[in-house]
């Protein structure tokens, strides 16, 4: 009981004896959280709670300076490196940043700088402001312009050597471009993962029964710390450069010039970087960036301000683990603690049962959250989430809220472990975990076996059909689909297109129903009509065939050109020994799993008749043919090394516009490898396979704009 009370005693009331015990407790607790965060990538407390522990620790240390422990968390950044990688000693330590939590803290930070430098009140102090990227920092050492060592921060003094992994990150040049590259330079910045890539990765992980990452930061950390670089290469990591360590000469005088130079050398720098003349401007940038936070597409947790003049930065120097010339102005935490009232099972369009946490509503990062995903059965078991538990929920940008962990100290004594249902809550059919024929393991997802008789699956299929990336029918959202299905007015996609002719005939007039009026009915029918000529790619995607996402649908649409040819080919492929099936699998990007799913869909009589009924109403349009006259039309191209005259994305977009297919890896199917400086294993492989290798200039000449 004494310990429980002690941790709640305000710092000002602690006796020296209590303070000593508190410091020891906090050191152990913070070290424990550090390990979970940095080494296991599995934090168990919110950032806010963690910051509070560190703050309490420094407040006690400030009051009792004699009691500061040798292992005090304030002298340490993060935690010691994990054992698996070789260690790298940073030539210049990688330090951390002090925090500002409100506008006053920012004002005080600027005052401190003025005082320290002894500046006149009129003397302008230009500051810079940029987002604080929520990833993990890395230091990249270049010697003679070539990447020699890439390391994580580790404890700030010593990190892990992850060079092979960092080389696979597309935003990290293996060779620097530009004339004024110093002989030795360590470029520092943040490795991170975008929201879209994070969501797709977790979906792949869930499908494969592998670890689900709690947030993009943990996914990036886990991906970077892979012992096998080919795993890192398959993870979509990105990098923003914002600082530097050792540098043999410094060809710039301000932070802003440095950022410009990093961009010249081939790095991505953050587009929201700004110079500010005073505190008001700094706070202005803070609010502007905060307003964009949810739509940036990657996690940021604050804004970093830095003194622009580097001579001043040098004079200001460092105090304990942070520079005096920079500070992080944090955003309010996007994690919160709440109570899990219930676990609801939702049935997806392919029958997958997804557990959803029904929460006591709580504000997370300015948005009220009452539902959060629990991913699947194994995740519930791994986190041991029980109804009635106090849980930490997290919202990262526009990623679906999720339950991160349980606050185990607050568990009720009678809470029982959650038992995942083995029957579908919608149709009561058996729900099973299929065995993956390839791995021999159980799928992570439990699926309803009710198939076509399951009403939940039918509604979800319809919702998918009208959704934004499928037929995109305005005015027909999830709510409307549910209502029409419940009334029996729309039970399959074709019914959507006959709604207008049946209105007032077979059905109760729509405009007389609740929620509808003349105008909204007219708009709906008009929106439906415009979709009768939808693109073949959207049409195929809309059918909701298992494993056929947008990219695969586009690939199928491009390959077959018309809906008749597509269907003809797929139905001919019913026999898995047939040539038609071999042709389907041979399409680059379509594996056996996808091919079998497409075949299985059309083997089902009910699906065939639903598609027939639909095709009586809609005529899918072939995709606009890519430019077939170009010399690279139909060719598979791979880009590698540093491109000097355009960015990688620009090169890709141009090649695709000319009808080429751009691939990330070299195989026997590759026609052309465009190799810039620094090309490595891909170039070697292409040479082995006798594939045409072009320089960037040769390539530009070939496509006609040298």
Interface with ligand IVH by CB under 6 A: which residues?
A: 95-97, 130, 132-133, 137, 190, 242-243, 304, 323, 326, 328
CB of 263 or CB of 483, closer to ligand IVH: 263
What is the full DSSP assignment across 231-261? HHHTS--EEEEEEEEEESS---SBHHHHHHH
Q: CA-to-CA distance for 25 and 38, rounded, in angstroms?
A: 20
Closer residue to ligand IVH (CB): 96 or 670: 96
Paired tokens of 2: 């004494």
Q: Residue 82 carries which DSSP code?
A: P
Q: Which is nearer to ligand IVH, 307 or 598 (CB)?
A: 307
**Do the Cβ atoms of 328 and 100 come closer than 8 Å?**
yes
C-alpha distances (whole Å) from 526 to each of 34, 41, 497, 520 are 57, 50, 11, 10
- Pairwise CA distance, residues 43 & 34, whole Å: 8
What is the closest distance, in whole angstroms, from the C-beta atom of residue 301 to ligand IVH in the complex?
A: 8
Angle at 358 between CA 352 and CA 363, to 5 degrees: 125
Instruction: Give the C-alpha separation, 376 to 445, whole Å.
Output: 6
Angle (CA) 248-252-257 rounded to 5° is 135
Give the pairing type, strands 672-675 and 636-640.
parallel
Distance of CA 596 to the CA centre of its chain: 29
Number of H helices, E strands in the chain: 26, 24
> Residue 287 is encoded by which pair of tokens?
């609010």
Residue nearest to ligand IVH (CB): 137
What are the distances in angstroms from CA 297 to CA 153, 160, 269, 303? Answer: 24, 28, 15, 16
Closer of 24 and 319 to ligand IVH (Cβ):
319
Least spacing, CB of residue 639 vs ligand IVH, in Å: 28
Residue placing its CB nearer to ligand IVH in the complex, 132 or 682: 132
Cβ-proximal residues to 362 (8 Å cutoff; 6+ apart), any chain: 336, 337, 338, 368, 369, 370, 393
Give the DSSP letter string of 656-685: HHTT-EEESS--TT--EEEE-TT--HHHHH
Least distance (Å) between residue 61 CB and ligand IVH: 19
Tell me the C-alpha distance between 491 and 498, whole Å. 12
Asked if 192 and 298 touch (Cβ cutoff 8 Å), the reply is yes
Is residue 657 a contact partner of residue 605, using CB atoms and an 8 Å limit?
A: no
DSSP string, 438-503: TT-SBPSS-EETTGGG-HHHHHHHHHHHHSTTTT--TT--HHHHHHHHHHTS-SSHHHHHTHHHHB
Strand partners, 184: 143
CA–CA separation, 674 and 700 (whole Å): 10
User: How far is residue 15's CA from residue 23's CA, in Å, rounded to a whole number?
Assistant: 12
CB of 105 to ligand IVH, least distance (A): 15
138 vs 614 by CB, closer to ligand IVH? 138
Smallest separation, CB 156 to ligand IVH (Å)? 8
C-beta atoms surrounding 604 within 10 Å: 12
- Furthest C-alpha separation in the chain: 87
Q: Are 694 and 674 in contact (CB under 8 A)?
A: yes
In the bound state with ligand IVH, the residue whose beta carbon lies nearer, of 331 and 560, is 331
Compute the least distance from the CB of residue 202 to ligand IVH, in Å. 23
Residues in the chain, how many? 706
Would you say 26 or 94 has its CB closer to ligand IVH? 94
**Choice between 322 and 597, CB closer to ligand IVH:** 322
Give per-residue burial for 368-402: e unless 16+ CB within 10 Å, then b: ebeebbbbbbbbbeebebbbebbbbbbbbbebebb
State the minimum distance, in angstroms, from the CB of residue 266 to ligand IVH: 18
Cβ 534 to ligand IVH shortest distance, Å: 43
User: Where do we find the tokens 């090169």?
Assistant: 651
Shortest spacing between CB 510 and ligand IVH, in angstroms: 53
Toward ligand IVH, which CB reaches closer, 43 or 450?
43
Contact 432, 449 (CB under 8 A): yes
What is the helix (H) or strand (E) element at residue 30, kind and residue range?
helix 16-34
Catalytic residue selected from 132, 383, 463, 635: 132
Nearer to ligand IVH among residue 95 and residue 380 (C-beta):
95
Q: Tell me how far, at minimum, the Cβ of 162 lies from ligand IVH, in Å.
A: 15
Question: Cβ atoms within 10 A of the Cβ of 233, count?
Answer: 20
CA distance 262 to 246: 14
Tell the smallest beta-carbon distance from residue 133 to ligand IVH (Å): 4
What the block records as the tokens of 572 is 């001919």
Query: What's the closest the beta carbon of residue 307 comes to ligand IVH, in angstroms?
Result: 11
Rounded CA separation 207/200 (Å):
11
Lookup result for tokens 């292992």: 71
- Provide the phi-psi class of 338: left if phi over 0, else alpha when psi is between -120 and 50, else beta: beta
Give whichever of 96 and 223 is closer to ligand IVH, judged by the CB atom: 96
Q: Return all residues near 29 (Cβ < 8 A) that are at least 6 apart.
A: 53
Nearer to ligand IVH, 132 or 531 (CB): 132
Residue in the block written with tokens 């409100």: 102
132 is catalytic: yes
Beta carbon of residue 401, minimum distance to ligand IVH (angstroms, whole number): 23
Give the sign of the dihedral formed by CA 587, CA 589, CA 591, CA 597: negative
Residue numbers annotated as active site: 132
């Amino acid at each position: 009981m004494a310990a429980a009370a002690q941790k709640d005693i305000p710092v000002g009331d602690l006796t020296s004896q209590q303070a000593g015990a508190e410091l020891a407790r906090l050191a152990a607790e913070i070290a424990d959280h550090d390990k979970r965060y940095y080494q296991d990538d599995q934090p168990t407390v919110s950032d806010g709670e963690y910051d509070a522990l560190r703050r309490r620790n420094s407040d006690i240390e400030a009051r009792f300076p004699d009691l500061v422990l040798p292992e005090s968390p304030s002298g340490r950044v993060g935690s010691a490196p994990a054992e698996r990688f070789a260690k790298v000693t940073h030539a210049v330590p990688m330090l951390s940043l002090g925090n500002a939590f409100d506008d006053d803290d920012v004002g005080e930070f600027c005052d401190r700088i003025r005082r320290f430098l002894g500046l006149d009140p009129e003397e302008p102090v230009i500051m810079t402001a940029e987002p604080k990227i929520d990833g993990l920092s890395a230091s990249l050492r270049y010697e003679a312009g070539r990447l020699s060592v890439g390391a994580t921060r580790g404890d700030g003094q010593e990190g892990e050597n992850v060079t092979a992994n960092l080389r696979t990150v597309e935003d990290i040049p293996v060779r620097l471009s530009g004339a004024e590259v110093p002989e030795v330079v360590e470029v520092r910045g943040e490795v991170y993962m975008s929201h879209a890539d994070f969501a797709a990765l977790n979906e792949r992980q869930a499908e494969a029964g592998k670890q689900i990452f709690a947030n993009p930061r943990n996914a990036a950390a886990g991906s970077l710390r892979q012992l096998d670089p080919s795993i890192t290469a398959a993870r979509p990591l990105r990098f923003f450069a914002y600082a530097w360590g050792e540098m043999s000469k410094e060809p710039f005088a301000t932070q802003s010039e440095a950022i410009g130079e990093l961009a010249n050398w081939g790095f991505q720098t953050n587009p929201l970087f700004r110079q500010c003349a005073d505190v008001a401007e700094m706070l202005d940038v803070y609010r502007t960036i905060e307003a964009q936070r949810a739509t940036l597409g990657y996690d940021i947790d604050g804004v970093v301000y830095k003194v622009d003049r580097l001579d001043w930065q040098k004079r200001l120097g460092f105090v304990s683990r942070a520079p005096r010339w920079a500070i992080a102005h944090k955003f309010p935490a996007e994690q919160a603690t709440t109570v899990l009232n219930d676990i609801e099972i939702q049935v997806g369009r392919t029958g997958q049962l997804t557990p959803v946490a029904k929460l006591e509503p709580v504000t997370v990062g300015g948005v009220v959250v009452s539902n959060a995903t629990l991913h699947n059965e194994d995740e519930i078991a791994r986190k041991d989430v029980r109804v009635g538990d106090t849980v930490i929920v997290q919202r990262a940008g526009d990623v679906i809220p999720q339950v991160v962990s349980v606050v185990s100290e607050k568990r009720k004594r009678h809470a029982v472990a959650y038992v995942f249902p083995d029957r579908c809550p919608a149709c009561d059919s058996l729900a099973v975990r299929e065995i993956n024929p390839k791995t021999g393991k159980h799928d992570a997802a439990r699926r309803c076996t009710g198939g076509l008789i399951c009403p939940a699956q039918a509604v979800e299929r319809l919702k998918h059909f009208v959704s934004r990336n499928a037929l995109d029918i305005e005015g027909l959202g999830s709510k409307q689909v549910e209502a029409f299905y419940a009334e029996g007015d729309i039970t399959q996609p074709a019914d959507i297109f006959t709604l207008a002719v049946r209105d007032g005939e077979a059905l109760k007039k729509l405009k007389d129903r609740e929620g509808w009026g003349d105008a909204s009915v007219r708009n709906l029918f008009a929106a439906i009509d415009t979709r009768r000529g939808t693109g073949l790619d959207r049409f195929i995607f809309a059918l909701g065939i298992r494993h056929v996402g947008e990219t695969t649908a586009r690939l199928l649409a491009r390959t077959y050109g018309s809906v008749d040819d597509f269907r003809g080919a797929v139905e001919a492929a019913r026999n898995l020994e047939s040539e038609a099936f071999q042709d389907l699998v041979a399409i680059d990007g379509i594996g056996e799993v996808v091919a079998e799913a497409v075949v299985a869909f059309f083997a089902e009589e009910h699906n065939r008749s639903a598609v027939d009924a639909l095709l009586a109403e809609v005529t899918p349009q072939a995709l606009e043919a890519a430019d077939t006259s170009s010399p690279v039309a139909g060719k598979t191209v791979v880009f590698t090394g540093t491109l000097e005259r355009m960015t990688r994305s620009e090169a890709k977009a141009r090649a695709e516009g000319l009808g080429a297919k751009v691939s990330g890896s070299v195989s026997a199917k590759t026609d052309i490898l465009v190799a810039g400086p620094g090309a490595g294993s891909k170039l070697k492989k292409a040479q082995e396979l006798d594939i045409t290798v072009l320089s960037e200039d040769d390539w530009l000449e070939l496509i006609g704009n040298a």
